[in-house]
Structure 1
Amino acid sequence: MNVKTTKTKIQHYVPQFFQRYFSHENNGNTIGMFNVNTGVFKASVPIRTQSYKDYFYGKSGELETWLSELESKSAPIFRAMWEKEQLPIYKSAEHLDMVHFALILDLRNPLRFNLLEDLSTLISNTKSSIREGNIPTNLIPKFKELQTERGKLSSLTSAHLLVPELLDLKFKLIRNKTAKPFIISDNPLIMYNQFLEKRNWNFMSNSDYGLKGLQMFLPVNDQCVLMIYDSEIYKVGNKKDKIIDMDDEKCIDQLNILQVLNSSNIVNFNHCASEYYIQTLVDKSKRFKKANEAFIKVHPIKEKSSDSEANIQINELGMTNLETNLNIQKVKFTTKSKYINLEDRNGQYRKNAKLTIVKPFVVPSIVYKPI
């Protein structure tokens, strides 16, 4: 074990550089926090104490070092967004790095690994619809492997393979023109899909990376949110504008409520957010279901063969979506989106996305045929 390993016991899953963009009085050292589960509010706590777990990425230091290098490369890109209101050039190296950072921010979060544990428990307790006993448990060893240090290293370092398939998504900066600040949480990348929500599409998660209508919202400080979106589905402001102004406080509230619902239990903010405002957001969020909770749905299907009718089942493994009937300024559906047909599973994917683009830690559907 090298010296660096002993010094990196505290391993952050929301990078400290990113949390500093929301620091109290811009001091770079402390940040506000509210525990959604206990109701504890603190106006200023050390950033070092937020969004971390001891040796979460292992004791070898290999994955922690890899993540640190990714953060060092990404930090200037995100700093430029709020400091200079500057976005990467489309399909430039910085664009690739921005998307890669966003993916890793999503996949490195403890909620992803907790999901695997919860799915393993559900698999063990879910009854089959076509045979006696429970559904097959052959996925459980794979899920356990992904939760190990070696499994995390393999999954996260291979996520760059997804980046080219996400470059069809466009991106803009939402600029907050109200007195209310944007906030973040211990799981700050919001994955949403207004298009599939409006269609009441319930097959698999609405936030898989290859889906039509995918949206990502990532606050980069209290005044700016990066929005990555499917331009075939959404029109965001004027076509040529890279930055769109949002002056409706209700829209700011909606985006902040998504942070509450996407969190494990902590939301963070700077000095501009009062305890009353944070508590109001939490109270409003209770009308909606929390995101990222594991589920299994068993779908019995009758399949006709040449001489008989066979029973099969699809066991759908996934997590709950963020669904709040989001409706924010300057984000509209394109005319083209109204005529998109979603008759089958393949119809939900973007035309340039491979059907295999799903979150590496979630197996969306497995078909088991009777013997």
Structure 2
Amino acid sequence: MPEKKKQHYVPKFYLKFFSSDSDQKAIKVCLKESYKIIQNADIKSQAQEDYFYGKNLEREDWFGNIEDTTSLILKEVVKTKVLPKNKSDEYYWIWLFFLLQAYRTRANADEFNDMVDKSLKTVMKFEPKFKDFDFDTHFFAYDDAIEKTLDILLKSLPMMMDMQIKLLKNNTSQELITSDNPVSKYNQFLESRNFPYGHCGMASKGLQIFYPLAPDLILVMYDPKVYKVGNRKQFSKIQINETDVEFFNSLTCLYANKALYSTSNVTDFQFEKILERSKKYQNQKKLELKQFDPVENDDETESVIVQHHKTPFMLHPNLSFIKQTQHAKSYKLSGYFAEIRDERYRKKGKQV
């Protein structure tokens, strides 16, 4: 087999935190669509595709270099149950790895291409030359969608610097699971305000991002102006309860593309319950487009503006470890289509 043909979008070292054997070569798999259980699947074969990041290996090597550093840091976190010092170099390696994981998967690439396809077709319908075009038999997509999503993320990293990471500890009898798209997003703040548009954009006020790190650990990245997680100086070993674990496993299932992963301690029946519990929410998240009337340009052509957002999953959890701040409770919504953490970015957008 050619070198680096099989390219993982969920790293092998990470999946080993959920391995089902002492050699860390196998993992329990539950296929989301069929409910099929594979008790001891080969970790090397999970969450990967041939040349997923391209045959030139540039992006694959780039991820490899990042994983070489972060794997050592995260292995220590899993061992000690403690995060590196807040805002240290090691902390920011975790911060970077966390965000990259959210945008490097097959599920994310497919979601991006779905947005491209629907947006382009919406605009094309304004053009008379496409009046007989068969939209149902065509799908518009980028071959390098992952590069496009990563480019957006990397350019947007400065607006994520305000987000805080803490480590939650699961001491319950129920283990955390993970998936082939392990990072999930939520926004209890905008959910509580019944905000009708997107909740989980990178700049969204009240954004929460979750990353199961091991059966007993989960990372949370959150907006510190909106939420209090644990005590102000407590960054690790923040306890969660069984209701929290149930929510996290449901959200992990909803974000999963095809496969859920766990240790052998999670029973087949528990997987079935997770799948059944999440099923009623599965159709909540979809892409919605709002098209505006064409605007005439100076050269007598017309421009069409299409605004899009993803409707969020809304599970209405009552999480034990998190509370809204006084700032959040007194905050008045802006009235815009997007509620963002830092209004300076809205002003910059108007100046472009």
- TM-score normalized with structure 1 length: 0.81
TM-superposed CA distance for 1:58, in Å, is 1.0
Q: Once the two structures are superposed, what CA deviation does each residue of 1:275-333 show, in whole Å capped at 9, x if it has no partner?
A: 0101101111112135764x242254799xxxxxxx99752234342321122112111
Alignment map for 1:10-25 (pairs within 5 Å): 10-25=6-21
Aligned letter for 2:310? M
Cα displacement string for residues 7-42 of structure 1 (whole angstroms, at most 9, x for unaligned residues): 211111000010000000343111010011011011
Question: Any idea what SS the aligned residue of 1:31 has?
Answer: strand
> How far 1:145 sits from its partner (Å)?
7.9
Report the counterpart of residue 364 of structure 1 in structure 2: none
Distance 2:201 2:221 in 1: 14
User: Is the aligned partner of 1:175 residue 2:169?
Assistant: yes
Name the SS of the counterpart of 2:308 in structure 1. Answer: strand
Q: Aligned equivalents of 1:338 and 1:13: distance in 2?
A: 38
- 1: CA distance, partners of 2:116 / 2:51: 23
Counterpart Cα distance in 2 of 1:23 and 1:146: 34
Is 1:95 the counterpart of 2:105 in the alignment? no
Quick one: distance in 2 between partners of 1:97 and 1:296? 34
Q: Distance in 1 between matches of 2:190 and 2:80?
A: 34
Q: Please tell me the residue identity of whatever aligns with 2:324.
A: F
Note closer, same or farther for the CA distance 1:8–1:113 as it changes in structure 2 (3 Å cut): same
Q: Larger deviation: 242-251 or 59-68?
A: 242-251
Match of 1:337 in 2: 328
C-alpha change, 1:52 and 1:128, in structure 2 (3 Å) is closer
Aligned equivalents of 2:348, 2:173: Cα separation in 1: 39
Identity of aligned residues (%): 25
Letter in 1 for 2:158: P
Note if contact 1:111-1:292 (Cα within 8 Å) is conserved in structure 2: no
2:248 equivalent to 1:260: no
Equivalent position of 1:51 in the other structure: 47
CA distance in 1, matches of 2:285, 2:6: 24
Q: CA offset at residue 167 of structure 1?
A: 2.2
Residue 338 (structure 1) shift:
1.4
Which amino acid in the other structure matches residue 228 of structure 1? M
Partners of 2:19 and 2:263 within 8 A in 1: yes
Structure 2 vs 1, CA of residues 10 and 157 (structure 1 numbering), >3 Å: closer, same or farther?
Answer: same
Q: Is 1:213 matched with 2:206? A: yes
SS at match of 2:282: coil
Cα displacement (A) at 1:130: 8.2
**1:59 partner amino acid:** K
Read off the aligned partner of 1:183 and give its amino acid letter.
Answer: I
The structural deviation recorded for 1:357 is 11
Could you tell me which residue of structure 2 aligns to residue 235 of structure 1? Answer: 228
5+ residue gaps, structure 2: 132-138, 296-301
Q: State the secondary structure of the residue aligned to 2:99.
A: helix
Return the offset for 1:133. Answer: 8.6
Aligned ranges for residues 360-371 of structure 1 at < 5 Å? none
The change in CA–CA distance for 1:111 and 1:353 in structure 2 (over 3 A counts) is farther
Q: What is the alpha-carbon distance in structure 2 between the residues aligned to residue 146 and residue 190 of structure 1?
A: 24
Aligned pair 1:321/2:312, yes or no? yes
**1:246-285 paired onto structure 2 within 5 Å:** 246=239, 248-285=241-278
Counterpart Cα distance in 1 of 2:319 and 2:13: 28
Counterpart Cα distance in 2 of 1:118 and 1:155? 13
Q: Flag the 1:353–1:107 CA change in 2: closer, same or farther, 3 A.
A: farther
Taking structure 1 as reference, are residues 13 and 200 closer, same or farther at Cα in structure 2, changes over 3 Å only?
same
Q: Distance in 2 between matches of 1:177 and 1:189?
A: 21
1:200 aligns with 2:191: no
Q: Out of 262, 276, 287, which is 2:280 matched to? A: 287
Q: Could you say what the CA RMSD is over the residues aligned between the two structures, in angstroms?
A: 3.2
**TM-score (normalised: structure 2):** 0.85
Question: Is the partner of 2:172 in helix, strand or coil?
Answer: coil
Task: Tell me how far apart the structure 1 counterparts of residues 248 and 348 of structure 2 sit (CA, whole Å).
Answer: 26
SS in 2 for 1:354: helix
Summarize deviations over 1:140-189 as a string: whole Å, max 9, x none. xxx978532xx644753674443333221122111001011000011001
| Local SS of the residue matching 2:21 | helix
Q: Describe the superposition over 1:232-255 as per-residue Cα deviations: whole angstroms up to 9, x where unpaired.
A: 111112222222443521221111
Q: Alignment length, in residue pairs? A: 337
3-state SS of paired residue (1:38): coil
CA 1:353–1:261: 2 relative to 1, 3 Å:
farther
Distance 1:180 1:200, change over 3 A: same
Q: CA deviation at 1:264?
A: 0.8
1:164 to 158, 180, 198: 158
Q: Distance between the aligned counterparts of 1:298 and 1:75, measured in 2?
A: 42
Residues 18 and 356 from structure 1, CA distance in 2 versus in 1: closer, same or farther, beyond 3 angstroms?
A: farther
Contact map agreement 2:16 2:25 (CA 8 A) in 1: yes
Distance (Å, rounded) in 2 between the aligned partners of 1:195 and 1:325: 11
Tell me: CA distance 1:55–1:290, structure 2 relative to 1, closer, same or farther (3 Å).
farther
Which has the larger displacement, 222-231 or 322-331?
A: 322-331
DSSP-derived class of the 1:53 partner: strand
Label 1:118 to 1:356 Cα distance change in 2 as closer, same or farther (>3 A): farther
